[in-house]
Amino acid sequence: MKIKLSKTTILNILFVLLCCSLIHQFIKQLFFIYGYNSYGISEYLTNYQGGFVRRGLLGEILFFFANRFSFDVEWAIKIICAIFFIVVVAFFVKSFLKKGYSLYLLPLCFFFGGMITGNYFNFWIRKDFVMLTFFIAILLIFNRQNIILWIKAVFINVLAIFIILNHESFAFFSLPVLFFLFFNSFENKKLVSSFSLAALCLLPSILTFLLVCITHGNQATAQAIWDSWQILSFGKTSDVPLGCSIGAIGWNTFDTVKLLSSINFITIDNRIISIFVWIVTFPVIYYIVTNTLFVFRKTPDNFTEKHKTVLSTIILFQFICLLPLFLFLSCDYGRVIFYLIASSFAVFLIFPADILAKNIPLVILQKVEKFNNAFPKANKTIIAILMLVTGFSPVFFNIEFAYKSTMLYQVLNFI
């Protein structure tokens, strides 16, 4: 007897296998010993023992407790990361199911998959999910109708400042969209007044961001931070290891921008220049993200062309806001793309599409719709194939890293 499987059934099987693969890798990485000089673990060790410096607040809190209680610092960091990772995943799964959206997007390389795949870049052991948790909490506060706007501003600034003091990247995907939301809250006022009041609402967070940009630290600061932990937990002091996140505190800004720009644009692997790969990769990811919910919708009203246009507008807006990271402030593309996709979907899921559409200028929505129409018309087969084979190198361009991040490789490797 022949068993005929539909395309949807095959995709469901692949989806389950991919999820099983990611869960398996996540558990394996949780119990792996990375060491304090690994990039992910050491990111949490940055503290204020060498003076006030960017990214130091959580590390100072951790240092305070480690100095008074006996516990495994690495395990504490992994547990913190795992908790925030699970919280963010739970939010998106719950929100997708509540809206009736397909879950196919969530485990792919540009959403959660890229944060787990690969033995070298376990991006869930970073501050990214702490940032996303606070971003979601901020949006939920803003969306509460029973709280006075100025009270919202106080709570939002407290949460935003806490995270900006832990990682300045938060400002790039949060402050612009928050400014947009505050600006539209004063729509009954004149343009200049709305702009000024929105800026005033976010002034504490903006000033904090400028402060951490100025206090970026130096080699002496990095060494003092490293020595503080060695005296406490590691024993004999030594120089800051090269592969340690603490060492990044001492990097010269100009040299860093020059190095990362070179990595992002002219890295060559197998005779392929990285800039050309990104020119292809970004449109493909955008095409998948903006069309998957549409082609796999349960009913015509579940995800309409209007929803697609609104989601596309948010993604393009967030992409523009994250351009400094994409271009010359980071080469961790796996993380920055995750910021882009996760923050865009958080906004789209929390605020009703009709309200967002109302606040976005009509001319922009029309331009975005026209931009989307320039892409080939999507269907389930095209999107399914692209989901299977789309991957990207999580950091500096590398063909091996790229194909190992694809759904097809992950499923076959798991089997």
- What is the rounded distance in angstroms from the CA atom of residue 288 to the CA atom of residue 407? 13
DSSP letters of 165-193?
TT-THHHHHHHHHHHHHHHHHTTTS-HHH
Between these two residues, 76 and 9, which has the higher pLDDT value?
Answer: 76
Inform me whether the pLDDT recorded for 240 exceeds 90: no
Predicted local confidence at residue 393, as pLDDT: 82
Q: What is the average pLDDT across 180-201?
A: 90
Phi, psi (degrees; rounded to nearest 5) at 272:
-110, 130
Mean pLDDT of the chain: 90
Listed range (329-333, 352-356, 377-381) with the worst mean pLDDT? 329-333
SS3 annotation, 112-169: CHHHCCCCCCCCCCCCHHHHHHHHHHHHHHHHCCCCCHHHHHHHHHHHHHHHHCCCCH
The reported pLDDT for the residue numbered 84 is 97
The dihedrals phi and psi of 268, each to the nearest 5 degrees, come to -115, 130
What is residue 381's predicted lDDT score, i.e. its pLDDT? 92
pLDDT at 249 over 90: no
pTM of the predicted model as reported, rounded to 2 decimal places: 0.94
Residue 97 vs residue 9, higher pLDDT: 97
Long-range CB pairs of 228-231 (<8 Å, 24+ gap) are 228/47, 228/49, 228/50, 228/63, 229/36, 229/45, 229/47, 229/63, 229/73
Tokens of 58: 């959580």
Section 8-18 average pLDDT: 90
Question: Per-residue pLDDT averaged across 309-329, rounded?
Answer: 94
State the Cα–Cα distance between residues 337 and 319, nearest whole angstrom.
9
- Band the pLDDT of 395: cuts 50, 70, 90: confident
Q: What percent of the chain has pLDDT over 90?
A: 67
Answer whether residue 189 shows pLDDT above 90.
no
- pLDDT band at residue 276 using 50, 70 and 90 as cut-offs: confident
Residue 237 has pLDDT above 70, yes or no: no
Can you give the residue ranges of every domain in the chain?
A: 7-126+215-414, 147-214
What pLDDT, on the 0 to 100 scale, is given for residue 120? 56
DSSP 232: I
User: What is the C-alpha separation between 131 and 164, in angstroms, rounded?
Assistant: 9
Rounded CA-CA distance 197/83 in Å is 36
Cα separation, 268 vs 290, in Å, equals: 30
* Residues sharing a CB contact under 8 Å with residue 220, sequence separation 6 or more, in sequence order: 50, 250
pLDDT of 321 above 60: yes
Instruction: Tell me what pLDDT residue 9 has.
Output: 86
